[in-house]
Amino acid sequence: MTTSEIKEPLLLTIAVLGGTGKEGKGLAYRWAKAGYKVLIGSRSSERAVTAASEIVEMLDGSASAVGASNQEAAQLADIVVLTVPYAAHHDTLESVKDVLAGKILIDVTVPLVPPKVSKVQMPAAGSAAQEAKNIVGEGVEVVAAFQNISHEHLLKDEDVECDVLVAGTSKAARAEVLKLVEAAGLTGWDAGPIENSVVLEGLTSVLININKQYGSTHAGIKITGATVKR
């Protein structure tokens, strides 16, 4: 998707917490390419600045990407995307929850528990996204998405043969996230309430198992028998 294909003004600022990691950096690249203002958040501001500079360089200086601490990025953004490993999930949310009120939090985290990452292991809350909702409280819309997109695709200018399932606390919040899915050049589906995030997150372990069993690196999912409404 090119910037000209997006029909409404790009006024949102997106913070990608954990944006120095492969998945976060890939998503940030896609949104920066589409014309959004992107903030790369990290525990290390230095690493965040470096990652942001690399994204700007990849897009020939035409993108808006800036590095900051997780706290600074979350405070300045309209939409916050959490792409940290599960081991850092709780602490990262605790560190930014005071600046999330009134915003949408997109949780990309999967509760993988090494070394058995191909085995589904959900937390007591039901899913990482539900756990996030318990931490950030009622003033934040929490949406689970992007768990099943391999980072190998995101930093390349190529079509991605994998759909994005979106589950969250309200239909309005899911609709906003679906716009970002489309802006990233992906196909998204409204997968219903946040309780359904257990399926989205659990699928990641299933896909990891498929990759191991069949010698792949980027197994994904496609929804058939239905048509996305634009």
pLDDT at 1 (0 to 100)? 36
Does any domain span residue 159? yes
Does any domain span residue 223? no
Does any domain span residue 228? no
What confidence tens digit (pLDDT) does each residue in 82-127 have?
A: 999 999 999 999 999 999 999 999 999 999 999 999 999 999 999 9
Does any domain span residue 230? no
Q: Which domain holds residue 55?
A: 3-214
Does any domain span residue 44? yes
Which CATH number belongs to the domain containing residue 37 in this structure? Answer: 3.40.50.720
Q: Give the end-to-end CA distance of the chain in Å, rounded to a whole number.
A: 14
Does any domain span residue 144? yes
For residue 2, what pLDDT band results from cuts at 50, 70 and 90? Answer: very low
Number of domains the chain is built from = 1
Does any domain span residue 219? no
Q: CA nearest 229: which of 158, 175, 172, 148?
A: 175
DSSP 173-215: HHHHHHHHHHHTT--EEEEEEGGGHHHHHHHHHHHHHHHHHHT
What confidence tens digit (pLDDT) does each residue in 18-77 have?
A: 999 999 999 999 999 999 999 999 999 999 999 999 999 999 988 899 999 999 999 999
